[in-house]
A = this chain, B = another copy of it.
């Protein structure tokens, strides 16, 4: 390799990214030819005075992008970009798609206290009850029906059960139908597929759940963010957006929004529905967390309040029981559900039936409700521990939301701290979280971060927030030091 990458230690882009981009550019331009050998990570690190993990990170992305290929004991070789003719040029075929922001969750060291993933604690899974539930299902005479090809609408006994529940709760009216999906995520995907054309505007919360942000932008939608405050989506702002933009649809999380934890109050729900009806905009009510209310009074869902037939309600078993079993559902107007069914069939024929049958039995046997009661006790404890530890450990000037349920809380660091910049320090100290930029639609909020508390025991929460508090304090001291004018500037 003849060229020597030039890295800027003061640049905003991390060193591994700079290194990746410079090597990638050399390969794409043909200056580093196919088959050339790259220096081993150790060698390259020495050459550039870098940490070896920095070089490894850059090589890993080069490999993922198909530009180099590592061979054990032989080093890394340039394999891309694909030749322009005579074979498939995957780089060109895939170029229109930008890789979305890395998904939150995986990849951190084992020892970190992670506030980064919005999921229930594995310690709370009622394994014996799950086993008993499966045993009942497996002993059934109709087991073969579960194993046979099913309906795109869902496993009929589960669909009937959910539809009856929805009718009983006045969630489903006479014009409604119900479709089973692989969790709320697939319901959002199917809705996008049937309603969106590229370039359409969708009104969403800002900050927004990353999975929805990636989904909608991947479909070519223009996102129009409506600010979410401590009382959920700003209804007055929403009304202005609906009037001005006439978005294709609006997605709103009525309860314990991810990432802020905020809940839309009754007046806000009514105002939002009123505006949506007035401007003919469908409302997609994403309610994955609604069953996890630890305090305060439950509110009627938008779907219950809406008499105009313009709302679709998305719910799921994932957050309340077992996220590894992918079963959710959508309740909405028959006309829409019928289209979603066609789209579901095109997407994957139907949702896995073993899990549908197991979750139905889990619900019908009363075990789901008993488990929910335990989840509510545990969640309540964890939320209380989080709020108390925030008050005890986070320095003055830090602000945070006070959710009444769900799994997430939104923290704003004191000025001038940046949650992304603080993250590597926090990780070195033993704690991790997701910076606000993962969730930003148009309002950059560099001081914001999400704390997902549901997966951690109260002791871990307290320990994690003590570390975070120290990290923030240390960050503030450095920031202040940086701000002190140097003698030459005085």
A interface residue numbers (CB < 8 A to B): 63-66, 69, 71, 79-80, 82, 85-91, 93-94, 96-97, 99-100, 103, 105-106, 117, 119, 122-123, 125, 127, 130-131, 134-135, 138-139, 143-152, 174-175, 181-183, 185-186, 189, 193-195, 197-198, 211, 214-215, 218, 248, 276-278, 280-282, 308-310, 318, 322-327, 333-336, 338-339, 342-343, 345-355, 358
Task: Say whether B149 contacts A323, CB under 8 Å.
Answer: yes
The 7 closest A-B pairs by CB, nearest first: A88-B310, A66-B335, A182-B348, A324-B353, A147-B322, A186-B348, A149-B323
- The residue among A71, A182, A348, A354 with the most chain B CB atoms within 10 A of its own CB is A348
Distance in angstroms between the alpha carbons of A218 and B192 in the assembled complex: 13
A218: chain B residues within 8 A (beta carbon): 193, 342-343, 346
A250 to chain B, nearest CB (A): 11
Question: In the complex, which of the residues B117, B147, B278, B318 contacts A325, with contact meaning CB atoms closer than 8 Å?
Answer: B147
Closest B residue by C-beta to A281: B88
A86: chain B residues within 8 A (beta carbon): 277-278, 280, 308
Distance in angstroms between the alpha carbons of A139 and B131 in the assembled complex: 8
A148: chain B residues within 8 A (beta carbon): 119, 122, 125, 322-324
A310: chain B residues within 8 A (beta carbon): 87-88
A214: chain B residues within 8 A (beta carbon): 342, 345-346
Question: In the complex, which of the residues B65, B186, B278, B358 contacts A354, with contact meaning CB atoms closer than 8 Å?
Answer: B358
Task: Say whether B149 contacts A127, CB under 8 Å.
Answer: no
Given the known A-B contacts A119-B149, A195-B94, A326-B350, are A339 and B99 also in contact in the complex, defined by CB atoms under 8 Å? yes
25 example contacts (A-B, Cβ-Cβ < 8 A) are as follows A64-B338, A69-B174, A80-B335, A85-B280, A87-B310, A88-B277, A90-B282, A91-B335, A93-B195, A94-B336, A106-B151, A122-B145, A127-B147, A131-B138, A131-B139, A147-B324, A148-B322, A189-B347, A324-B352, A324-B353, A326-B348, A352-B352, A352-B354, A352-B355, A355-B355
Question: In the complex, which of the residues B66, B318, B342 contacts A100, with contact meaning CB atoms closer than 8 Å?
Answer: B342
A144: chain B residues within 8 A (beta carbon): 122-123, 125, 127
A151: chain B residues within 8 A (beta carbon): 106
A76 to chain B, nearest CB (A): 12
Closest B residue by C-beta to A282: B88
A282: chain B residues within 8 A (beta carbon): 88, 90, 93
A334: chain B residues within 8 A (beta carbon): 63-64, 66
A139: chain B residues within 8 A (beta carbon): 131
How many identical chains are in the complex?
Answer: 2
Distance in angstroms between the alpha carbons of A318 and B148 in the assembled complex: 9
A328 to chain B, nearest CB (A): 9
Closest B residue by C-beta to A92: B280
Known: A63-B334, A88-B281, A90-B336; 18 extra A-B contacts, CB below 8 A, are A66-B175, A71-B174, A86-B278, A94-B339, A96-B197, A97-B342, A106-B151, A119-B149, A127-B147, A130-B138, A148-B324, A185-B346, A186-B347, A189-B346, A189-B347, A193-B218, A324-B353, A352-B354
A185: chain B residues within 8 A (beta carbon): 346-349
A258 to chain B, nearest CB (A): 13
A81 to chain B, nearest CB (A): 10
Distance in angstroms between the alpha carbons of A175 and B324 in the assembled complex: 29
A88: chain B residues within 8 A (beta carbon): 276-277, 280-282, 308-310
Distance in angstroms between the alpha carbons of A40 and B338 in the assembled complex: 24
Distance in angstroms between the alpha carbons of A276 and B86 in the assembled complex: 9
A325: chain B residues within 8 A (beta carbon): 147, 352-354
Closest B residue by C-beta to A84: B280
A152 to chain B, nearest CB (A): 7
Question: In the complex, which of the residues B99, B149, B183, B186 contacts A324, with contact meaning CB atoms closer than 8 Å?
Answer: B149
Given the known A-B contacts A99-B339, A189-B347, A280-B89, are A194 and B94 also in contact in the complex, defined by CB atoms under 8 Å? yes
Task: Say whether A138 contacts B134, CB under 8 Å.
Answer: yes
Distance in angstroms between the alpha carbons of A263 and B193 in the assembled complex: 34
Task: Say whether A117 contacts B281, CB under 8 Å.
Answer: no
Closest B residue by C-beta to A193: B218
Question: In the complex, which of the residues B65, B138, B345 contacts A335, with contact meaning CB atoms closer than 8 Å?
Answer: B65
A65: chain B residues within 8 A (beta carbon): 335, 338
A146: chain B residues within 8 A (beta carbon): 324
A176 to chain B, nearest CB (A): 11
Distance in angstroms between the alpha carbons of A106 and B318 in the assembled complex: 29
